[in-house]
Structure 1
Amino acid sequence: MEFKELMAARRSVRRFSDRAVPREVVDRILAEALTAPSSRNSRSTRFLVVDRHDLIARMAGMRDYGSAFMEGAPLAVVVLGDTAASDLWRVNAAISATVLQLACVDEGLASCWVHVDGRPRRKDDPEGERAADYLRTFLPVPEGCEPLCAVALGYSDFRPAPLPAADDEARIIRL
Structure 2
Amino acid sequence: MDFQQVIEARRSVRKFRDEEVPHEVLAQAIEAALHAPSSRNSRSTRFLAVRDAATVHRMAAMRDYGAVPLAGAPAAVVVMGDRAASDLWVDNAAIAATILQLALVDAGLKSCWVHVNGRPRSKERPDGEQAVDYLRTFLPIPEGCGVLCVIALGYSDFEPKPLPAGESVERVQWVE
Task: Establish whether TM, by shorter chain, passes 0.5.
Answer: yes
Give the gaps of 5 or more residues in structure 2.
none
TM-score normalised according to structure 1 size: 0.97
| Match in the other structure for 1:59 | 59
**d(CA) in 2 for partners of 1:7 and 1:54?**
31
**Alpha-carbon RMSD:** 1.0
Alignment-mate amino acid for residue 97 of structure 1: A
2:77 is aligned with 1:77: yes
Residues 33, 100 of structure 2: 8 Å contact kept:
yes
Q: Deviations over 1:16-65 (max 9, x none)?
A: 11111111101110110100110111000000111112211111011111
TM-score normalised according to structure 2 size: 0.96
**d(CA) in 2 for partners of 1:111 and 1:97?**
11
| Structure 1 residues 51-130: aligned runs within 5 Å | 51-130=51-130
**d(CA) in 2 for partners of 1:50 and 1:167?**
36
| Match in the other structure for 1:32 | 32
- How far apart are 1:95 and its partner, in Å? 0.3
| Match in the other structure for 1:133 | 133
Give the gaps of 5 or more residues in structure 1.
none
- How far apart are 1:166 and its partner, in Å? 5.4
Alignment-mate amino acid for residue 146 of structure 1: G
SS of the equivalent of 2:81 reads strand
Alignment-mate amino acid for residue 115 of structure 1: H
**d(CA) in 2 for partners of 1:166 and 1:58?**
41
Instruction: Give aligned pairs, total.
Output: 175
**d(CA) in 1 for partners of 2:166 and 2:133?**
38
Q: What's the % identity of the aligned pairs?
A: 62
| Match in the other structure for 1:155 | 155
